[in-house]
Amino acid sequence: MRPNEEIEELLESKEEDFVINIGPQHPSTHGVLHLKVKLQGETVLDVQPHLGYIHRSIEKMCEASTYRNFIYLTSRMDYLSAHMNNQACSMAVEQGMALAIPERAKVIRILMSELTRIASHTLWWGALGLDLGATTPFFIGFRDREEIMDIFEESCGARLTMNYNVPGGVMYDIHPNFQKRVHTFLVNFKKNLPEYDQLLTGNVIFQSRMKGVGVISAEDAISYGCTGPVARGSGVSCDMRKWFPYDGYEGAKFDEILETGGDCFSRYMVRVREMYESVKIIEQYIDNIPEGDFQAKTKNVVKLPKGEFYSRVETARGELGVYIISDGSMKPYRVKFRSPNFSNLSALKHMAVGGKIGDLVAIMATLDLVIPDIDR
């Protein structure tokens, strides 16, 4: 629990506070995040995030792009969940067009989403180890991620900003090698997954740096608008794939992972266990991709009727909301992205205050922040 009395005591002692700047160029902030941290000794008294170092105003740029083009900008928000970002935008546009997408496209989207989720979690896992001073996890994480990147490269033509989703389905059909390569990946990955537990999960030093650190209760997690593994680590059920199933997720058989600790270790365990669940979903669908079109027929120029459209998907970091206000023209009047990292970051102060400065790095690592998603 947060030792409130201790903090108040320290605040009253009126000694000169020590303020340090972490970032904008710091390996543990995973991007250009700037934190002003007020310290007394090693105890964190206050954390102030300073944002905007990579703010490109994607929302403003969207207002100048057509409904087909603005989707590609969103790959640059949370670049580790590029596929889900594109999917959320496509879904909002499809909702405006009242367009039903073919079954084949739905299954391809699910497969790609879950591969993206695994790729994102493996990268997070490697970077987490690196943040805490272990170098090996980074290589292990990247080894598995590389295989997924190759699969993406073959089917989507790109490794990171895939731009594979378009209104109506996906841009191209999957590569003939896709199923074979995913099968090979699954065999390797299932063999490798126990290594993740051997290297970090069961490690005593790792556990002592994770357990009881950065605790956030379920009520606070809801109040701070946390979603994704951050909220699920506090026992808050919030998986959009279960709450409001989209694009065929209603048929997917998987469990929503919940941990009740609310500390860094719980958030860690949620993500590690989620990788097993994603493997389950991929195994369910990889041999059952329905035949048919991969894209519904659409007009070249997409125009949405006057109105408002909101779509929600579960990215690797939480709930992404895309809110489109249309005035009936070819371009959106206003686009708002409710990004998961933005809300998760607002809980950082609550988690870090009262702890030690070394724990701040562990907390940031388990929040899994992607800065371009916060700054947009």
Partner 1 sequence: MTNEELKTFITAQVPEAIFEETQYLNITVPAEKFYSLAKHLRTDSSAEFDYLICVTGVDWKDSLMVVYHLQSRKHKHVIVLKVKLTDRVNPKVDTVSDIWRTAEFHEREVFDLFGIKFNNHPDLRRLFMDDTWGFPLRKDYVDDVTIVQL
- Using the rule CB under 8 A, give the single segment among 81-89, 111-119, 231-239, 265-273 that binds partner 1: 231-239
DSSP line for 167-203: TTEESSPPPTTHHHHHHHHHHHHHHHHHHHIIIIIT-
Residue 60 beta carbon to partner 1: minimum distance, rounded to whole angstroms: 6
Distance CA 348, CA 339 (A): 16
- Report, in Å, the least distance between residue 282 CB and partner 1: 28
Task: Tell me whether residue 54 or residue 193 sits nearer to partner 1 (CB atom).
Answer: 54
How far apart are CB 57 and partner 1 at their closest, in Å? 6
Task: Say how far apart CA 118 and CA 219 lie, in whole Å.
Answer: 29
Nearer to partner 1, 60 or 190 (CB): 60
If the CB atoms of residues 71 and 348 are measured against partner 1, the closer one turns out to be: 348
Site string for partner 1, 64-103 (x = CB under 8 A): x------------------------------x--------
Residue 325 interacts with partner 1 (CB under 8 A)?
yes
| Residues ≥6 apart with Cβ < 8 Å to 364 | 28, 29, 30, 131, 348
| Residue found by looking up tokens 């409130």 in the block | 4
Alpha carbon distance 352, 348 (integer Å): 6
* Cα 312 to Cα 298: distance, rounded to the nearest angstrom: 22
Closest distance of CB 243 from partner 1, Å: 7
Residue with tokens 């989620």: 274
**CB-nearer residue toward partner 1: 59 or 256:** 59
* Position 224 contacts partner 1 (CB under 8 A): yes
For the window 251-290, what string marks contact with partner 1 as x by the rule CB under 8 A? ----------------------------------------
Among 24, 28, 40, 59, binds partner 1 (CB under 8 A): 59
For helices 357-367 and 264-286, angle between their N-to-C axes, nearest 10 degrees? 20
Binding of partner 1 by 142 (CB under 8 A): no
Among 97-105, 131-139, 162-170, 337-345, the segment contacting partner 1 (CB under 8 A): 337-345
- Residue 267 CA to residue 257 CA, distance in Å, equals 10
Other C-beta atoms lying within 10 Å of the C-beta of residue 86: 26
Task: Please state the length of the chain.
Answer: 376
Position 18 contacts partner 1 (CB under 8 A): no
CA angle at 369 for the pair 271 and 159, rounded to the nearest 5°? 80
Q: Which CB sits closer to partner 1, 18 or 243? A: 243
DSSP string, 95-114: HHHT-PPPHHHHHHHHHHHH
**Cis previous bond, 24, omega within 30:** yes
Nearer to partner 1, 128 or 320 (CB): 320
- Write down the H helix ranges in 287-356: 340-346, 348-352
Binding-site member from 7, 10, 51, 99 for partner 1 (CB under 8 A): 51
Query: Using the rule CB under 8 A, is 306 a contact of partner 1?
Result: no
Q: Which of 87, 70, 65, 79 is nearest to 321 (CA)?
A: 87
> Which listed residue (280, 346, 356, 357) binds partner 1 by CB under 8 A?
346
Q: Which of these segments, 97-105, 110-118, 158-166, 233-241, binds partner 1 (CB under 8 A)?
A: 233-241
**How is residue 76 written in tokens?**
């640059």
Question: Does 309 contact partner 1 by CB under 8 A?
Answer: yes
**Sites of contact with partner 1 (CB under 8 A):** 51-52, 55, 57, 59-60, 64, 95, 220, 222-225, 236-238, 243, 307-310, 312, 319, 321, 323, 325, 334, 336, 338, 342-343, 345-346, 350, 375
